[in-house]
Amino acid sequence: MSEAFARTFRALDRGSRARASFTALVAVSLLSVWAMWLFTAKLSVYETSEAARLEVVRAAHPLDAPIPGRVIKINFALEQEVDEGDVLAELDAEPQRLALGEAKVKAASLGPQLGATQAELAAENRALSAFRNQGDAILGESSSRAEEAEIATRLAREELERIERLSDSGAVPEIDAVRAKSDAERKAAAAAALRAQRTKREGEWITGQSDRRIRIAGLQRDVVRLESELQQVQAQIGSIEHEIDRRRIRAPASGRVGEISSVRPGSFVDEGDHLGTIVAHGDLRVVAEFKPSSAFGHVRTGQTAHVRFDGFPWTEFGDTQASVTDVAREVRDGRARVELNIVSTSDRIPLQHGLPGTVEIEVEQATPAVLVLRAVGRLLHPSHNSDPARPAEDRRKRITRQ
């Protein structure tokens, strides 16, 4: 009986140690996972605004006279909707229009002159090419005739020498020698005439080419001169048209006429005189107010944010995505102003000027361990959690008490 009890007791003891070992292993595993999460996990840190609202960005564009002149037309009225580039007023431009007409007439006359000169130049170039080809053929023919005459002259001279030898020996009559000599002299004279004719034709060919080249050079100068004059006139036309366009006062932006001066047609205005104001159609932006301790050093341009509007629960309507565009560098009324552009939003939220809400800006990502240390630091040093605008006031108070 006692032996059975002992075995049972040992079995229970071994089971208790196994359960204790398993429990310790599970605890160590959980502690390791928790430590890994504590030191490696990245959590988004948000700064939440104390207040936020939608505002309409409106830009006022002044409508001023760019140059002095007499007003001949007014095309806008108060509260009128205008588009960018619309002609709202016109100044007198009659002298410029007359000069423009004169310049266009001159350009119209220079165009045909230039075309005719270019056509004549092309014809002269073709004629020069044909003259060269013709001269080459004529000189080639003259050279062939002169060479043929030279050959005939050499044959005649050889024949004369043979007949003279035979005449000296009495084999042929003397009259045959005289005839052979006369024939050789005649052929030599003919060869000389052909050579002279070839030289003359070559000189005429060179002179003809020179004359045509001179005419072509003159036509090229005329073409360059006419092109230069035409370019000058076209530049003058562009300048006059620009001056005329400057006398058309256009809307600098789309919007409505928010102000109009007392200028009327017939009035004379100086450069810079104010004619009115165009109020452009504005875009919506989010303006949030943060504690200085939350904004300065944390909120930066380009950070993403979530905007949640009052009256539109984010669980039902979702939130609006925004991006930080500007952070104020001064504190007003104890708050720091932050401006954001809307990136995306739900179609169910009617965005309009003045709609209130809150903004949450993701300022960084930190591990849970860092966040715990920060919380402990705030508990140990509460003064670090105060606004940066207050230490200066506290220092002044301490100096006053001293």
Q: For residue 176, what pLDDT band results from cuts at 50, 70 and 90?
A: low
The pair of structure tokens assigned to 170 is 């009495």
Q: What is the pLDDT of residues 146-155, one digit of tens each?
A: 677 677 777 7
- Where is pLDDT greater, at 358 or 22? 358
Do 187 and 168 reside in the same domain of the chain? Answer: yes
- Please enumerate in sequence order all residues whose Cβ is within 8 A of that of 170, keeping only pairs 6 or more positions apart, or say none: none
| pLDDT confidence of residue 177 | 63
Q: Do 158 and 187 form a contact (C-beta atoms < 8 A)?
A: no
| pLDDT confidence of residue 234 | 92
Do 174 and 103 reside in the same domain of the chain? Answer: yes
Highest-scoring range by mean pLDDT, 10-14, 109-113, 131-135? 109-113
Do 48 and 127 reside in the same domain of the chain? Answer: no
Do 265 and 308 reside in the same domain of the chain? Answer: no
Task: Classify residue 286: in a domain, yes or no.
Answer: yes
Rounded to an integer, what distance in angstroms lies between the CA atom of residue 188 and that of residue 149?
A: 8
pLDDT at residue 11 greater than cutoff 80: no
Average pLDDT over all residues of the chain: 79
Task: Classify residue 313: in a domain, yes or no.
Answer: yes
- Where is pLDDT greater, at 399 or 14? 14
Task: Classify residue 49: in a domain, yes or no.
Answer: yes
Mean pLDDT for 338-362 is 84
Q: What proportions of the chain, in percent to the nearest 5, are helix, strand and coil? A: 55, 25, 20
| pLDDT confidence of residue 245 | 92
Rounded to an integer, what distance in angstroms lies between the CA atom of residue 256 and that of residue 80?
A: 5
Q: Do 306 and 84 form a contact (C-beta atoms < 8 A)?
A: no
Residues 305/310/316/322 CA torsion (nearest 10 deg):
-20
Query: What are phi and psi for residue 349, nearest 5 degrees?
Result: -95, 115
| pLDDT confidence of residue 399 | 33
| pLDDT confidence of residue 396 | 38
| pLDDT confidence of residue 132 | 76
- Compute the C-alpha angle 104/107/109, nearest 5°: 115
pLDDT at residue 104 greater than cutoff 80: yes
Of 359, 287, 362, nearest in space to 327 by CA: 287
pLDDT at residue 246 greater than cutoff 80: yes
Q: Domain boundary residue among 246, 268, 290?
A: 246
pLDDT at residue 391 greater than cutoff 60: no
| pLDDT confidence of residue 236 | 93
Do 133 and 259 reside in the same domain of the chain? Answer: no
Of 127, 238, 145, nearest in space to 196 by CA: 145
CATH number of the domain residue 161 falls in: 1.10.287
pLDDT at residue 397 greater than cutoff 50: no
Predicted TM-score of the model (pTM): 0.47
Residue 359, Cβ neighbours under 10 Å: how many?
Answer: 28
Q: What is the pLDDT of residues 121-148, one digit of tens each?
A: 888 888 878 777 776 767 677 777 767 7
Do 116 and 200 reside in the same domain of the chain? Answer: yes
pLDDT at residue 395 greater than cutoff 50: no
Do 166 and 123 reside in the same domain of the chain? Answer: yes
Q: Considering its fold, how many domains does the chain have in total?
A: 3
- Where is pLDDT greater, at 3 or 308? 308
pLDDT at residue 237 greater than cutoff 90: yes
Do 99 and 68 reside in the same domain of the chain? Answer: no
Do 242 and 260 reside in the same domain of the chain? Answer: no
Rounded to an integer, what distance in angstroms lies between the CA atom of residue 396 and that of residue 295?
A: 24
Task: Classify residue 385: in a domain, yes or no.
Answer: no
**CA-atom Rg of the chain in angstroms:** 54
- Where is pLDDT greater, at 386 or 17? 17
Mean pLDDT for 280-294 is 83
Rounded to an integer, what distance in angstroms lies between the CA atom of residue 281 and that of residue 255?
A: 5
Q: Domain boundary residue among 226, 246, 266?
A: 246
The rounded percent of the chain whose pLDDT value lies above 70 is 79
Rounded to an integer, what distance in angstroms lies between the CA atom of residue 70 and that of residue 270?
A: 9
Residue 240, Cβ neighbours under 10 Å: how many?
Answer: 21
Do 123 and 142 reside in the same domain of the chain? Answer: yes
Task: Classify residue 24: in a domain, yes or no.
Answer: no
- Residue 189, Cα to own-chain centre: how many angstroms? 81
Q: Do 372 and 43 form a contact (C-beta atoms < 8 A)?
A: no
Residue 391 is which amino acid?
P
CATH number of the domain residue 65 falls in: 2.40.50.100
Task: Classify residue 372: in a domain, yes or no.
Answer: no
| pLDDT confidence of residue 72 | 92
Task: Classify residue 375: in a domain, yes or no.
Answer: no
Packing angle, helices 174-246 and 94-168, rounded to 10? 170
Task: Classify residue 396: in a domain, yes or no.
Answer: no
Of 178, 144, 143, nearest in space to 159 by CA: 178
Mean pLDDT for 145-166 is 71
Q: Which domain holds residue 46?
A: 42-58+282-366
Residue 235, Cβ neighbours under 10 Å: how many?
Answer: 11
Q: For residue 239, what pLDDT band results from cuts at 50, 70 and 90?
A: very high
Do 170 and 158 reside in the same domain of the chain? Answer: yes
Do 129 and 154 reside in the same domain of the chain? Answer: yes
